[in-house]
């Protein structure tokens, strides 16, 4: 399908398109919508507003035309092999990712990575400038695209531009290491509304703008010399709660949860971790904590098991390869030292699974363990809560995950404190059903009220309100549009 110039009333700009290339049985290739929360949230609003989504389709194929998949208008922007290495694996995942996650790993600064980041951002901005209708809304997503708002504003001052950062925004003490700190701040200031997961991140940003760029600020507003005002506020992201509940309630998923339990030898307690294999997620420390409980006989392999799913991620980046080896070695050692025949301490799966299998795992698990050193939100924690239809099960959650702001009834832990984590794991394991129910009921209420549709609608409603005199207003489709999620 040809997408006409200046025809889209809503444009999403993200690093990735929301589809994956799949090979059919007859060898032909097609696209399948990837099952993420972001697509679920934006799909209805895109349909209601002639939306188009610009993103990298994965791979290095060039010259791809815009196409429609499941009724969504998709605009592929290709990356060359060099750009994948420098923009994506390099500046995005080797510089910004660790820098924005409290330096959990050491960020690398390379000038050629930066140059590539600028070039790719410019290409995405140019494309958005071409397809956005007069007065349209453009919503730019995440850390790979932080220069797009200002580049777009220069080309198309008529647009309403929103930006959302899915990962944390660091305090000034860390951010100022970045040789291109001013450029990034100015890139973001091209937006009318900048959304963060937590209020603290928005405050970090506003403070930095005042100190580094010298603009006037007041609370969540930045006043630019040209008279424009930029708002920076928190919009904590969520999940398709209803979708997860339905999936968890389905017969095949309930059946599969039973099978999983049986395959594990019907232990009394199943502990579960599900993460992208990423050094921010705290997988190593959590497995160590659990293994020490087994070693010290607080838990026994006959009645407890830890299932860890680690989804392959960024495998060409050196730090990720090293992490994989470290975890492989740790799991091998723990199982070798403490396991028994047919009874591993840790059932480790380095693989990705369909959503149904994820829901079955959530249903099967008695204690969900989410212990990142730093995480923007962490959707796994919310998905677990959504799948606990019987209002039971325990959540052990890092204080440093954004989700800890909302899921206060979890067992909150400091992932750097191994003894503290051990104590929380024991408490969660030994908690009375009444206590589990009290906590889970409260968390389920939160996750039901604040779903991803409400997140998208509240952001778009706020964006519309920041420049009411300008352009068209995107029509919200969900239920929470007028309540305002920001805090």
The residues that touch ligand GDG, with contacts defined as CB under 6 A, are 35, 37, 166-167, 237, 274, 276, 311, 352-355, 358, 375-380, 383
Tell me how far, at minimum, the Cβ of 378 lies from ligand GDG, in Å. 5
Do the Cβ atoms of 379 and 401 come closer than 8 Å?
Answer: no
Do the Cβ atoms of 418 and 289 come closer than 8 Å?
Answer: yes
For residue 433, report the phi and psi dihedrals to the nearest 5 degrees: -55, -35
Tell me how far, at minimum, the Cβ of 383 lies from ligand GDG, in Å. 5
**Which of 104, 128 has the CB closer to ligand GDG?**
104
**Which of 383, 457 has the CB closer to ligand GDG?**
383
**Which of 8, 272 has the CB closer to ligand GDG?**
272
Tell me how far, at minimum, the Cβ of 451 lies from ligand GDG, in Å. 13
**Which of 235, 290 has the CB closer to ligand GDG?**
235
Read off the DSSP letter of residue 197.
S
Tell me how far, at minimum, the Cβ of 237 lies from ligand GDG, in Å. 4
Read off the DSSP letter of residue 281.
G
Read off the DSSP letter of residue 375.
B
**Which of 18, 37 has the CB closer to ligand GDG?**
37
Tell me how far, at minimum, the Cβ of 65 lies from ligand GDG, in Å. 28
Identify the three-state secondary structure at position 269.
strand
Maximal CA-CA distance, the chain: 71
Do the Cβ atoms of 437 and 391 come closer than 8 Å?
Answer: yes
Tell me how far, at minimum, the Cβ of 351 lies from ligand GDG, in Å. 7
**Which of 37, 57 has the CB closer to ligand GDG?**
37
Selection from 195, 265, 129, 261 nearest residue 455 by Cα: 195
Distance separating alpha carbons of residues 463 and 456, to the nearest angstrom: 11
How crowded is the C-beta side of 415, counted as CA atoms within 13 Å? Answer: 24
In sequence order, which residues have a C-beta less than 8 Å from that of residue 28 and are 6 or more positions away?
none
7 token code pair: 């025809």
**Which of 5, 352 has the CB closer to ligand GDG?**
352
Read off the DSSP letter of residue 476.
P
Tell me how far, at minimum, the Cβ of 166 lies from ligand GDG, in Å. 4
253, 254, 260, 265: CA torsion to nearest 10: -170
Distance separating alpha carbons of residues 367 and 429, to the nearest angstrom: 7
**Which of 165, 334 has the CB closer to ligand GDG?**
165
Tell me how far, at minimum, the Cβ of 347 lies from ligand GDG, in Å. 15
């Amino acid at each position: 399908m040809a997408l006409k110039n200046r025809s889209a009333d809503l444009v999403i700009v993200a690093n990735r398109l929301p589809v994956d290339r799949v090979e059919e049985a007859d060898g032909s290739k097609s696209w399948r919508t990837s099952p993420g929360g972001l697509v679920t949230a934006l799909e209805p609003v895109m349909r209601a507003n002639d939306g188009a989504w610009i993103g990298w389709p994965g791979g290095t194929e060039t010259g791809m035309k815009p196409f429609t998949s499941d009724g969504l208008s998709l605009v592929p922007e290709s990356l060359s092999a060099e750009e994948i290495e420098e923009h994506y694996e390099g500046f995005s995942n080797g510089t910004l990712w660790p820098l924005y996650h409290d330096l959990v790993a050491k960020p690398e600064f390379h000038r050629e990575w930066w140059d590539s980041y600028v070039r790719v951002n410019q290409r995405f901005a140019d494309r958005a400038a071409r397809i956005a209708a007069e007065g349209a809304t453009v919503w730019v997503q995440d850390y790979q695209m932080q220069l797009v708002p200002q580049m777009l504003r220069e080309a198309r001052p008529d647009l309403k531009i929103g930006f959302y950062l899915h990962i944390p925004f660091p305090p000034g003490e860390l951010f100022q290491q970045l040789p291109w700190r001013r450029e990034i701040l100015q890139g973001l200031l091209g937006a009318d509304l900048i959304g963060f997961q937590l209020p603290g991140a928005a405050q970090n940003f506003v403070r930095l703008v005042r100190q580094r760029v010298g603009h006037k600020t007041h609370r969540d507003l930045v006043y630019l010399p040209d008279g424009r005002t930029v708002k920076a506020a928190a919009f904590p992201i969520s999940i398709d709660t209803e979708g997860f509940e339905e999936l968890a309630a389905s017969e095949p998923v309930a059946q599969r949860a039973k099978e999983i339990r049986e395959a594990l030898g019907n232990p009394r307690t199943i502990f579960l971790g599900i993460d992208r294999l990423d050094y921010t997620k705290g997988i190593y420390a959590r497995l160590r904590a659990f293994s020490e409980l087994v070693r010290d006989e607080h838990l026994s392999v006959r009645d407890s098991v830890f299932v860890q799913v680690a989804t392959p991620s960024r495998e060409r980046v050196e730090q990720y390869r090293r992490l994989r080896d470290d975890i492989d070695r740790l799991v091998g050692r723990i199982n070798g030292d403490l396991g028994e025949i047919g009874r591993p301490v840790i059932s480790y799966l380095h693989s990705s699974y369909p959503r149904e299998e994820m829901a079955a795992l959530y249903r099967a698990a008695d204690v969900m363990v989410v212990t990142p050193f730093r995480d923007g939100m962490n959707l796994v924690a919310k998905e677990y809560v959504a799948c606990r239809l019987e209002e039971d099960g325990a959540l052990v959650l890092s204080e440093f995950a954004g989700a800890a702001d909302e899921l206060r009834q979890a067992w909150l832990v400091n992932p750097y404190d191994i003894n503290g984590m051990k104590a929380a794991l024991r408490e969660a394991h030994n908690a009375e059903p009444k206590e589990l129910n009290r906590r889970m009921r409260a968390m389920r209420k939160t996750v039901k009220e604040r779903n991803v549709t409400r997140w998208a609608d509240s952001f778009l409603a706020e964006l519309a309100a920041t420049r009411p005199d300008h352009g068209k207003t995107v029509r919200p489709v969900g239920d929470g549009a007028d309540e305002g999620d920001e805090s």
